[in-house]
Every structure is written in C-alpha cells, then in structure tokens.
Chains A and B, each alone.
Chain A
Amino acid sequence: MNYRIILGCLFSLLIVSTVIGAFPLQQLEKGDTVSLQEFKGLNKELSNIDKNSETKLLLLWRHDKRTNVDTVKNFVEMCSKRGVPCVAVDLQNVTMEKIKGIVGETGENVYFAQDKSSVTDDWGIFTLPVTLFLDKNNKVVNAVGFEGQYAVKVGRYVDFLTGKISEEEYKKFENTNKVNDRRSKLPKINFIKRLIEDGQPEDAKERLKKLDKKDLSMEEKLNLAEVYLKLDMPNKVEEVLKGVSEYNVGAKFYRAYAVYLKGNRDKALNMLHSIEKIYPQKNKLFYLLGEIYKQKGDYKNAAEYFEKSCNNSAI
C-alpha cells in the first residue's frame, strides 16, 4: 500500500511540475510540430510565409478578451520592428475588418488568421493569450501565456532566438530581482574633473572630500582614479580601483600612471607596454610612455612615442 501512495505522489508531482513550468498548453509540447496551413489567412495567404525563416511566432487570442486585445496590439508592435513572420489567430474567428479596428495598419510580416478547422481544440488551451515560438520546421521551441511587458520581453526573446543578442545578454534582464533606483555619482566626479581643468584644484579637493565614495560602479571608480591622478594623489588610485579586475585596460592604465607618479618608472613601463596594443586612447598612452622614457634619459624611445602621440591619421 505504501509504495502505491509514494508512486502516486511522484506521478502527481510530475504532472504538476509540467504545469508549474509555465508552459501554457496542456496537450501541445515543446518539439511538437504545428501546421500553419491548417489556419485560414485573412489579410494574406499563409503559404506566403517564408519557409526559410528560422523563427516564427504564432499568437492565439480572442478579440473579446481585454488582456488578449492588449497582447495582440503589443504583438503587432513587436513584430513590426522585427522581420520574423508573425501569425495571430483569433479563436473566435473574427473578421479582418474588426481586427483592423483593433490593431490598425500592420507590417508585411504580420498575418491574421482564423482556426476554421478547430485545430487548436486539441492543444489543451486553458487560458489565453498564448504565444508560440516556432522554428524553421514549425516545431514548438517555447510558449508563453499572458506577459505583462510583452513588447519588450517577448521582443528580447525573439532577438535571442534570431541571434541578434547573445544568451548572456538575454538572461541579463530575465532574472532581475532588484529595482534599479541608484543615483549615479558620475556627475559629481565629472564636475570635480572640470574644476581641476579650470584651474581650481583646491575647490576640487574640497568637493572630493565631500563625495560619498562607497559602492561606486566600475565607471565611477575609473573616473575617480583619473581625478586622483590629476590631483597628483597616486596613493589613492589603488584604493579606489579595488575590486576592478586587473584585466580592465582602463584601470591598468591608471594603475600604471600611479606607479609612475610614485617613481617606479620601470614597472610603469612594463604595465603600459602590456596594454600598448589594446588600450583605445592611444595618444594618452604614447604620451605617457614618451614622458617616462624621457625621464629615464632614453631620448630615442621618448621621441618615437611623442611622435606617435601626435600622429593624426586621416583614416
């Protein structure tokens, strides 16, 4: 008797877990093939759909449901910005005229259709709308039910499926659990830089004292390091760049500069040469190399780098 109960629980869990997995259809699964030709095109023949298209979208909706109407508008907006074939099937078989009243003009890649042969009756639909993502062979890749931020989220997923964005970039915004309400400190740091450039270093130092240096972003840290270098405070540079990867070329340049200001020219030279080919602001890099070589008395290298730092190419 006990093993039956355990088996029953496990089986129930299996059924339930497929529902929890948020796949919005009960009788259609990922990998199943959908025949688009079963639907009747309203504005265009569905046979016109590019068979070579790697991704297609199929929206199941009803014109008499508010959430569905909102979704179809977003569907059309999202599809119009992307070249993928998009088919919207109203399960109440509404006319094209009514649909036009809802969505207005649509792009060439958007098709409206009816389910005349009731194909979807066997798909186990329990809520609408449902958006299906199909591959080149019309196999179901994924499906989603009602989506609150449809145009952006589904759009981003389509960009991922079509290779426009990487998986990493796609996932960056899919698993957010924090509201970004952080106020950037960059304007204050840039203002301090401006004061230094305007010949007001004392004012700059005053403002620097008042700046909250906790929880700085990488960009803020790099800019603050630049401020310390401009104020001839190299000892503060490593402190502010704590946590910034040693592979970050910008940070490496500022670290090298700080090392140079502290008097260790050879170490600074090594650091700068290690990023010579990859640091984007070449004229600054070459100028600093020139300065260091000059101070070491190596005028040949100094002249070479000073010339490089002035090199303005037309291309």
Chain B
Amino acid sequence: MKRLFLVMLFCFAFSGLAYAAGCVTEECHSDIQEYEYLHGPTAAKQCEVCHTASPEELENHKKRPKSFIDFKSPVKDGPVCVMCHSNQRDGKNVHFPVENGDCASCHNPHGGNNKYFVKGKTEADTCMQCHEKGMFNKKYQHGPLAAGECASCHDPHASNYKAHLRFPPDKLCYQCHEDKKEAFNKAVVHAPIKDGCTSCHAPHSSNAKFHLKSTSEKALCVECHKETTPKLMNRIKNAEFQHEPVEKGNCGGCHNPHASEFGQLLRSDAKTVCFSCHSELGNRVNNAEYVHGPVATSGCSACHSPHGSDDPYILLEYFPEEFYNPYQQGMYQLCFECHDQKMLAKQYTQEATKFRNGNENLHYTHVMIKGKGRSCKACHEVHASNQPLQVRKSVPYGSGDWELPVNFTKKKNGGTCVVGCHKPKTYNRENAYNNQ
C-alpha cells in the first residue's frame, strides 16, 4: 500500500513537472519569468500549483492557445493565494481588495521588480491606481510618501486602526520621529500635541512647509489662537509697528510649536531668542558692565511687545523719541511700570529717589526744567551701559549727529557727572554739594 502511494505520488509529480515545463517555452509565456523577483511557483515553473487543468485541457490549450485559457483555481472559495499565504484579514479594518479576495489588484502573481511583487514601479504607484492623487500631490510631501513607501505607515491588508495605520495614531509618528516623544516631558507643552500630530500636520502632503494643515505657518497658528488669545491676534493683525518675524509669518522662528523648556514655548531664554536676530544689541549687552534689570533677566517683554505694537520700537507703551519733552503725567509710564513714579512727584524729598543733592530731587530737576525737560533715556541707556546706573556714555547734541560725552562717577553718597566741556556737577545725598 505504501509502495503504491509512493508510485502514485511520483507519477503525479512527474506529470506536474512535465506540465509546468511545457508552459514556458520560446513561443508561449516566455515573459513570465522576466522579473527581478519571482513568485516561488513561477521560479520553480510549477504553474499547476495555482492554475489547475487536466491533461486533456492542457493539450487543448496547446493546440489552440487562444480558445482555451480557463484554468481553474485549486481553491474553491477565495483567492488561490490563501493556499499558501494567510488571508491577511487580521484586523478590524480590512483593505477593500483584500476583503474581495482580489490580491491581484495590487500584486503580480508571477513576480515583480520588488520583493512584494506590487504592480507599480513603487508601492505608491500601486496605491494610486485606486486612491485619489489629489491630497498627495501638494508641494511638500511627507518623506515616506515622496519615496513611494505608503506601507511605512499603512498596512495594505488589514489593521486595527483607522486609515489602516500600522500603529495607533498616537504612536505611529514616533516610530520615526522618536525624538518628538520627549516633548511630553518638557516644562511647557503646546496643547494640540495632546490631540495628536495630525491636529497640525497633514500626514501626506501640504502646500505649507512642515506639512502644516494650512496655507502657511501663521495661518495655522491663527486658526486656534484667534479663539484662545483674541487680543494677541488683534494686535498681530492691526499693529502699526510690526515685528518682522511675525509679519512674515515665521512663528516658528521664536517659538517651538511642540514643547519647550522655556516659557511661552520660546526656543530658548527670551533674551537669547531676541539676540539671535538683534545680535548687535546682544553683543553690546553681553559686553556691558551694567545691564538693565529686565534685560538681564530675559525680560524684553517688560518693555517690548514682540508681536507688534502701535508704538515705535514695538514698545508696549508710548515713550517719547525726543530728547527734550515738556513733562506730562503718564509720559514715562513705560519706565514706571517697574520704577517708582514718586521720583518725579516732588522737587524736594528725602526718600523718593537717591538721585538728590541734599534733599533737592535731581530727577525732578532734570525732567521738569521748562522747555528742556529731559526724558529718562537722555541720561540712561535703556539696555546696558559701561557706566553705573546705566548712565549713557554720550548724548546727542545739536545737529549733525554730534554726541556729547558723559562721564559719570558713582560715589558713596552720590556721584559726579561731567558732560562734554561743561564743569563737573556733583551731588551728595548727605551733604548737599555746592556746584556754583
């Protein structure tokens, strides 16, 4: 019995071989093996594994090839592929061709120019046979799409996740962008991050850089921030004096849109961010001996509105540009948001200011002089200086951009100021100095 079985098996195999060897000839099916990668049965010339025919049907086909080509599948239900391969339906969401058993809509059953025998030149070409190209054709394409590697993100057969993603949507992106995972551990995390990457990014292509889901970076930011920070958006839109990066829509120049270890999602310390563009000022500050408090503590926003303002130098409040100003209440409010306005209240005082000669208030004297009231920045550098109390090294004088040098020496109970060729003026809080 056993011997009989072996004989029958031998005959069957031999007939199969003869069958297979006969399909690929110079005249017939010679191209079936002209692929870089061949499907196993094709490489072995075992055509009958998938195409079933009796010897008579085979002879008829050889005599009249075009009249008889109806080879049967050895599998009654479903595609012949499942005879060897799994049915690939493992998942809640099954790709339509797989559901229909139409493996050949994507795969060439004989072979192909790639390992999975997909029909197009690339994976993407195969997918685009059915899928609309519209959303994939925009200016900036996501790397895997540009490489034609749709299967990097999508399982082409079945998946438990929507859009046939290979991983849950909140984990997929981190398979490549794993450095972005650490965002969640940073001091400040941008709220949309928790909603997933696709709240801002189009995963296929976009007309905006970084595949943003909008026409531009600024447009995307405004979409949310017009609701969450309407006052800020109003300022950005309507400010008379615009900050260049904001005007150009380069929000990402200052802010990290994902997360940051610094406040306001800035890419660094505020001062460092500002000085990365305002480098000349940055150099001056970094090389100065006396730095204005808010400048030293990254408080550029104490005086400036980085998103735009209705005042020159994008200051938060009006500050006169002129050297001499007839004083009016509120004129130097920008400074008095931190400093004490009492320093201008009285001509004589013992405590409102340390800039006094005896009890004569020298701030009052300088600011309130009729016709020649000095502004704060007439004497003080607003950012940094190499003289104590940020006294500036020179002041503009006359026409022709001439600067009058100012030499200030701080002393225990006062100081001395030499302005240009004028006689030195000294002040002493304890014992009023006679400058006559």
Contact = CB atoms under 8 A, between A and B. Distances in A.
A16 B338 contact: no
B149 A148 contact: no
Given A179-B273, A186-B176, A67 B302 contact: yes
Interface string B277-296: 00000000000011101101
Contacts of A152: 187-188, 261-263
B411 A12 contact: yes
A8 B175 contact: no
B88 interface: no
B143 A187 contact: yes
Contact of A203 (B147, B187, B262): B147
B256 A126 contact: no
Nearest to B353: A126
Interface size class of B (residues with CB under 8 A): 35 or more
A186 B176 CA distance: 7
Contact of B147 (A12, A146, A147, A207): A207
Nearest to B351: A121
Nearest to B282: A177
Interface string A218-253: 010000000000000000000000000000000000
B410 A187 contact: no
A149 B266 contact: yes
A148 B298 contact: yes
Interface in B70-121: 114-116
Contacts of B269: 149, 173, 176
Given A20-B290, A147-B299, A191 B176 contact: yes
B47 to A, nearest CB: 25
Contact of B337 (A65, A149, A155): A65
A178 B266 CA distance: 12
Interface string A185-203: 0111011001100111001
Interface string A134-161: 0000000000111111111101100000
A67 B338 contact: yes
A300 to B, nearest CB: 37
A176 B272 CA distance: 7
Contacts of A129: 338
A167 B103 CA distance: 61
A270 interface: no
Interface string B242-280: 000000000001001000011110111111110010000
A65 B338 contact: yes
A123 to B, nearest CB: 13
B412 interface: yes
Contacts of B143: 187-188, 191
A12 B267 contact: no
A65 B336 CA distance: 8
A93 to B, nearest CB: 16
B240 interface: no
Interface in B362-416: 388, 409-412
B2 interface: no
A189 to B, nearest CB: 9
A173 B337 contact: no
B147 A180 contact: no
A184 B187 contact: no
B64 interface: no
A15 interface: yes
A180 to B, nearest CB: 5
A200 B114 contact: yes
Contacts of B298: 147-149, 153
A306 to B, nearest CB: 27
Contacts of B271: 148
Contact of B177 (A126, A144, A186, A219): A186
B151 interface: yes
A15 B175 contact: no
Given A8-B411, A66-B316, A180-B267, A148 B301 contact: yes
A215 interface: no
Contacts of B149: 191, 194-195, 198
Contacts of B263: 148-153
Given A146-B299, A148-B263, A191 B337 contact: no
Given A146-B299, A198-B151, A180 B256 contact: yes
Contacts of A151: 263
Contact of A155 (B187, B264, B266): B187
Max chain B C-beta neighbours (<10 A), residue from A24, A67, A155: A67
Nearest to A185: B179
Interface string A14-26: 0110011010100
A24 B116 CA distance: 70
Contact of B339 (A127, A148, A219): A127
A128 interface: yes
B144 interface: yes
A212 interface: no
B175 A190 contact: yes
B297 A145 contact: yes
A158 to B, nearest CB: 12
Contacts of A11: 412
A181 interface: yes
A65 B335 CA distance: 10
A79 to B, nearest CB: 15
Contacts of A19: 388
B300 interface: yes
A16 B410 contact: yes
Nearest to B388: A16
A168 to B, nearest CB: 14
B270 A186 contact: no
B152 interface: yes
B178 interface: yes
B273 A184 contact: no
B299 to A, nearest CB: 4
B340 interface: yes
Contacts of B147: 191, 195, 203, 207
What 8 A-B pairs come out closest when comparing CB atoms?
A149-B263, A148-B299, A152-B263, A190-B176, A148-B298, A127-B338, A199-B115, A187-B176
Interface of B: 114-116, 143-144, 147, 149, 151-152, 175-180, 187-188, 253, 256, 261-264, 266-273, 276, 289-291, 293-294, 296-302, 316, 336-340, 354, 388, 409-412
Interface of A: 8, 11-12, 15-16, 19-20, 22, 24, 65-68, 125-129, 144-153, 155-156, 173, 176-181, 184, 186-188, 190-191, 194-195, 198-200, 203, 207, 219
